[in-house]
Amino acid sequence: MGLAEPGERTVRIAADIGGTFTDLVLIKGAGEVLTAKVSSTGSAPEAAVLDGIRGIMAEAGVDGSQVVEVLHGTTIGSNTLLERTGAPTGLITTRGFRDILEIGRVRTPEMFDLAWTKPEPLVPRRARLEVTERIAADGAVLTPLAEAEVLEAGRRLQQQGITSVAVCFINSYRNAAHERRVGELLAEHFPAFEVTLSAALQPEAKEYERTSTAVVNAYVLPVMRGYLARLAAGLAGLGITAPLLVVSSSGGLVRSAVAQEQPVLFISSGPAAGVTGAARLGTAGRIDDLIVFDMGGTTAKAALIEGGRISRTNEYEFRAGISTPSRFIKAGGFLMRAPTIDIAEVGAGAGSIARVDAGGLIHVGPRSAGAEPGPACYGKGGDSATVTDANVVLGYLNPKELAGGTLAIDAGLSEQAVTSHVATPLGVSAAEAALGVREIANLNMARAIRAVTVERGVDPRDFTLVAFGGSGPVHACDLAAMLGIRHVLLPNLAGVFTAAGMLAGDIERQLVEPLPAPLDEALGPRLQAALDRLAAEARAALAEEGFSADQMAIERQVDLRFENQDTELGIVVEDAIEAGFAAPLRERFLEAYERVYEYRARDRVEVVAVRVVGRGHRAGKLDFTSYRTAATGGTNVASERQVMFARESGYVSTPVFDRSALPEVATGPLIVESLDTTAVIPPGAVVRADEAGNLRIELEG
């Protein structure tokens, strides 16, 4: 598989599907990098991927037999949920509990909103069927499974045209025997059903969370399976027999076969790769503490990398686009217990629309002009004032064209929109209004960053902000200044950074086993046994994928919490659980807890679960140091234009560089334009292009 040494002839390809473009990155041999963008192909996204791969292979002059791996970040899972195009799905539950899925956690996303519409569940009530069985909280069987009822439920679901079935029983996380038996019965009598068993997927407490996770899995499964099968067939048609690896929501690379069984682990596949790439970029540049900021047209996302470790979460809610407030309020989305990179997302992006309300307050977003009609300056009939229009008025963005000339800009339309929607109602100039729109947008986006830092007790000032996405570099320095961050890193390949990130990833297997027990010395042997079991399982899985022992890294973790709390913290432990382990482990938990929450409790500490992450280090992965895509070191100022950085100083004449012509070191104010983005360097900031073509910016004191 992809473990072949990076010989001159070997080729690795990564493909990332976005709403508008599918991005491709190809690495040939030891470091030659090619990139490409092709238009996405909506409902048959594999067409763009295959098309793009064909094109980029031709450009590189390679054939399918040279390809040793194809890496893929897919939005198929999130799109299936967003557009509700999944399989007709059924649910089998414990008698008395068929409404758990629909009741959820009962909160509403907003207060005072009597017009709220609760989203329809993925499984309607008629397809949620109950069977007699009951497991107690300690795992004991209280009522045996009524097998005849299972068969009857199967028949009824079949009559309804159901093709995918989730099974979730109360307390199955303590004893999954009944769920397993249902799996056997369905496989035997209804072989056409795809079946998802909740505890096999995620053996953790909380019935709504587990049910919802199983249902999302069941709902997406046939779609994901069909898609990956078509993609594999298409790759074979291109002569590529190398394994297809898919990015999981937690940022690891996983064999396509796993994604076909457990698609719920791949819902956030796309965004995760960008964060993994940023982590790898940080490693290459010896920066361990990073805030990752990805700004798109309608939303902005943030994630945290601390001490080289990506911040992950075990639960998240997918809501049409936005996920930050849902950290606080679970409502109106699809909840999943699945290891996921902790990405906070807010509804503010380049296309967010600004308006002034009747009381004279500026609002920006969450309404967005999207790609159609887009900002006013696109001249496609949009007349709303967007964040992009504000950036055009302020001189940050090229007043004539963007994206290397492929997108014409009409600066006059931006000014008109900002004037009529913001400046006139407020009685200020267009430039002041534009500054206001930009600042409000920045504040909204800063909330995503605060969500992954301040709300975790992490001080963002100690971090480096890595920004990508088409608009990230336009706002990065302002956001950094707002949060007291001094260092900003704008990666080379910013426009295809997510795809590049995949090439930097590792193969990953995450395994978890519940182990609810008080943390004390007596638990040592059980902890050791459980961790060893999971570690062996992880090693076996990695060995099967062709990794030798020295290419594997196994991380063991114990999830701990205070009794009576529900927030657990994972503490990494050594391979051997020695006698006398409990007190130091408790102390490490208390330290970790205090760091986040600022106090120490006297309460007893309990173990929730043990967790093992196995990583297989891929030979030949992109390390962000060995390639160079654009020459740097020129000294030519391409042009100058009037740019406003602050109200007090007004418009100032500002040099505009093409990325390739940027001097080794330069001091702002200046603008750096490249094919896929524009970097705004404020007055006093010092920018330096490093060996790999990344821009490193130091902000003033």
Q: Give least dist CB 447 to other proteins, A.
A: 6
Q: Candidates 15-23, 90-98, 224-232, 397-405 — which segment interacts with other proteins by CB under 8 A?
A: 90-98
Q: Which of 5, 8, 61, 112 binds other proteins (CB under 8 A)?
A: 112
Measure the CA angle with vertex 243, ends 240 and 245; round to 5°: 125
Q: Which is nearer to other proteins, 447 or 588 (CB)?
A: 447
Binding mask 504-533 for other proteins (x = CB under 8 A): ------------x-----------------
Q: Which of 327, 588, 617, 641 binds other proteins (CB under 8 A)?
A: 327
Q: Which is nearer to other proteins, 143 or 548 (CB)?
A: 143
Q: Which of 103, 140, 148, 665 binds other proteins (CB under 8 A)?
A: 103
Q: Look at strands 164-168 and 89-94 and give their pairing.
A: parallel
Decide if residue 566 touches other proteins (CB under 8 A): yes
Q: Which residues pair with 512 in a beta bridge?
A: 611
Write the DSSP symbol of residue 118: P
As a whole number of angstroms, the distance between CA 324 and CA 321 comes to: 10
As a whole number of angstroms, the distance between CA 280 and CA 272 comes to: 13
Decide if residue 564 touches other proteins (CB under 8 A): yes
As a whole number of angstroms, the distance between CA 97 and CA 271 comes to: 35
* Residue the block writes with tokens 């639960």: 315
Q: Which is nearer to other proteins, 105 or 155 (CB)?
A: 105
Decide if residue 159 touches other proteins (CB under 8 A): no
As a whole number of angstroms, the distance between CA 219 and CA 128 comes to: 13
Q: Could you tell me how many residues of this chain bind other proteins (CB under 8 A)?
A: 75
Decide if residue 141 touches other proteins (CB under 8 A): no
Q: Which is nearer to other proteins, 191 or 427 (CB)?
A: 427
Site for other proteins, residues 608 to 667, rule: CB under 8 A? none
Q: Candidates 111-119, 242-250, 259-267, 683-691 — which segment interacts with other proteins by CB under 8 A?
A: 111-119
Site for other proteins, residues 455 to 484, rule: CB under 8 A? 455
Q: Give least dist CB 413 to other proteins, A.
A: 23
Decide if residue 565 touches other proteins (CB under 8 A): yes
As a whole number of angstroms, the distance between CA 370 and CA 359 comes to: 27
Q: Which is nearer to other proteins, 27 or 394 (CB)?
A: 394
As a whole number of angstroms, the distance between CA 382 and CA 130 comes to: 51
Q: Which residues pair with 11 in a beta bridge?
A: 28, 67
Q: Which of 81, 170, 607, 680 binds other proteins (CB under 8 A)?
A: 170
Q: Give least dist CB 83 to other proteins, A.
A: 21
Q: How many residues does the chain have?
A: 701
Q: Which is nearer to other proteins, 95 or 628 (CB)?
A: 95
* Residue the block writes with tokens 């198929």: 76
Site for other proteins, residues 417 to 456, rule: CB under 8 A? 424-429, 432, 435-436, 439-440, 443-444, 447, 450, 454-455
**Dihedral sign for Cα atoms in the order 129, 135, 138, 139:** negative
Q: Give least dist CB 527 to other proteins, A.
A: 19
Q: Which is nearer to other proteins, 134 or 280 (CB)?
A: 134
CA distances from 574 to 103, 282, 543 (A): 41, 25, 22
Q: Which amino acid is at 693?
A: G
Site for other proteins, residues 207 to 226, rule: CB under 8 A? 207-209
Q: Which of 9, 42, 85, 99 binds other proteins (CB under 8 A)?
A: 99
As a whole number of angstroms, the distance between CA 107 and CA 606 comes to: 28
As a whole number of angstroms, the distance between CA 60 and CA 628 comes to: 16
Do residues 60 and 8 lie in contact, with contact meaning Cβ atoms separated by under 8 Å?
no
Look at residue 352 and give its three-state secondary structure.
Answer: strand
Do residues 28 and 86 lie in contact, with contact meaning Cβ atoms separated by under 8 Å?
no
521 burial (CB, 10 Å; 0-12 / 13-18 / 19+) is: exposed
Measure the CA angle with vertex 463, ends 458 and 468; round to 5°: 115
Q: Give least dist CB 602 to other proteins, A.
A: 7
Q: Which is nearer to other proteins, 568 or 676 (CB)?
A: 568
Q: Give least dist CB 485 to other proteins, A.
A: 15
Do residues 23 and 15 lie in contact, with contact meaning Cβ atoms separated by under 8 Å?
yes
Q: Give least dist CB 160 to other proteins, A.
A: 10
As a whole number of angstroms, the distance between CA 697 and CA 674 comes to: 16
Q: Give least dist CB 573 to other proteins, A.
A: 23
Q: Give least dist CB 436 to other proteins, A.
A: 4
Q: Which is nearer to other proteins, 368 or 444 (CB)?
A: 444
As a whole number of angstroms, the distance between CA 134 and CA 115 comes to: 38
Binding mask 328-367 for other proteins (x = CB under 8 A): xxx-------------------------xxxxxxx-----
* Residue the block writes with tokens 């991380």: 555
Q: Which of 7, 42, 85, 118 binds other proteins (CB under 8 A)?
A: 118
Q: Which of 19, 29, 31, 124 binds other proteins (CB under 8 A)?
A: 124
649 burial (CB, 10 Å; 0-12 / 13-18 / 19+) is: exposed
Q: Give least dist CB 457 to other proteins, A.
A: 9
Q: Which amino acid is at 114?
A: L
